[in-house]
C-alpha cells in the first residue's frame, strides 16, 4: 500500500521499482529520501536505493552505512549513482510484522554524505 504523506529527507522507505528495466534498479528495495522538505513537488520525491550487495567496483559515489532495517551489525550500500525521482505511490513504510510498520531515518550527517555522493555521481562540484 502506498504512503499517504510526504516523507521527510533522510527517511528510509521501501520502493517498488516495478516497470524499471535492467540495468536500472529493479524490484522492491529500501531507499533513502533525499529531497529537501521545502520542495513543493506534489506527489514526487527524490530517492537513492540501498543494497546489501557491495558494488563492484566501489566508487566515490557509493556509501556504506549501518543496516538500519536489520540493526544486526550488517551494512547497506547507498547507490548514489542510481538517484531517481519517483511518485509516492511507489513508496511504502517498512513492514515489521502483520499490520505493523517502523519509521527509520539515516542520521543528519549520513544524509549530508549521501547528498555529496549524489552530487559526485552527477559531476557536480561542491565544497
pLDDT in tens, 59-99: 999 999 988 788 788 899 999 999 999 999 999 999 888 88
For residue 41, report the phi and psi dihedrals to the nearest 5 degrees: -105, 90
C-alpha distance from residue 34 to each of 22, 59, 117 (Å) = 23, 20, 11
What's the mean pLDDT in 38-59?
Answer: 92
The DSSP annotation for 53-97 comes to SPPSS--TTEEEEE-TTT-SS-EEEEEGGG-EEEEGGGEEPEEEE
Continuous segment of H or E residues that includes residue 48: strand 44-51
Closest CA to 17 of 36, 31, 35, 3: 31
121/89 Cα distance (integer angstroms)? 26
93, 104 contact by CB (below 8 A)? no
Q: What CATH number should be reported for the domain whose range is 11-122? A: 2.30.30.110
pLDDT score, position 127: 63
Answer with the residue of higher pLDDT: 90 or 26.
90
Domain positions in the chain are 11-122
Rg (CA), the chain: 14
Amino acid at each position: 500500500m502506498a504512503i499517504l504523506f510526504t516523507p521527510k529527507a533522510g527517511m528510509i522507505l521501501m520502493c517498488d521499482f516495478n516497470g524499471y528495466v535492467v540495468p536500472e534498479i529493479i524490484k522492491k528495495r529500501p531507499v533513502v529520501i533525499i529531497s529537501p522538505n521545502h520542495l513543493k513537488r506534489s506527489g514526487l520525491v527524490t530517492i537513492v536505493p540501498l543494497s546489501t550487495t557491495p558494488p563492484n567496483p566501489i566508487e566515490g559515489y557509493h556509501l556504506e552505512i549501518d543496516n538500519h532495517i536489520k540493526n544486526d551489525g550488517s551494512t547497506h550500500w547507498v547507490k548514489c549513482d542510481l538517484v531517481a525521482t519517483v511518485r509516492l505511490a511507489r513508496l511504502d513504510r517498512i513492514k515489521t510484522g502483520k499490520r505493523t510498520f517502523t519509521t527509520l531515518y539515516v542520521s543528519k550527517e549520513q544524509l549530508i554524505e549521501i547528498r555529496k555522493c549524489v552530487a559526485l555521481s552527477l559531476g557536480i562540484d561542491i565544497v
